[in-house]
Amino acid sequence: MARSMLIISRQSPWAGPSAREALDIVLAGGAFELPLGLLFLDDGVLQLAPMQQAAAVQQKDLTANLQALPLFGIEALYAARRSLDERGLAEASLSLPVEVLGDDALSALINRYDHVITL
């Protein structure tokens, strides 16, 4: 029985390599058909902000990679409601369909997984 894993991504898409590395873990795990979840927490929810323009600083667009997640069979995608509210992001504007969870639901979510990795 494969062990399940929750990846918690909590850095903004522009703050260094953490956001992309968290995504790489998820995609690699997905390739091995591990039961995976991805939670966007704190500044990590900024990865879901609409209308980002990576080309303006000669970077690759993380949004396109994130939108590929459902194609790789990774559909357990979550975002923290408190983090979205603090950053003025409306659920309807996000670039990826995620389940938005309150604080209580977040602790329950973490408890459902065998392993947790926070980046």
Residues that bind another protein (CB under 8 A): 12, 14-15, 42-43, 46, 49-54, 56-57, 59, 86-89
Task: Please state, in angstroms and as integers, the Cα–Cα distance from residue 74 to each residue in 62, 82, 91, following that order.
Answer: 16, 23, 19
Nearer to another protein, 4 or 18 (CB): 18
Q: What is the largest CA-CA distance in the chain?
A: 45
Q: How far is the CB of 88 from another protein (least distance, A)?
A: 3
Nearer to another protein, 89 or 117 (CB): 89
Pick from 25, 14, 18, 5: nearest CA to 72? 25
Q: How far is the CB of 15 from another protein (least distance, A)?
A: 5
Q: How far is the CB of 62 from another protein (least distance, A)?
A: 11
**Strands, E assignment, the chain:** 5-9, 36-40, 77-80, 99-101, 115-118
Nearer to another protein, 36 or 46 (CB): 46
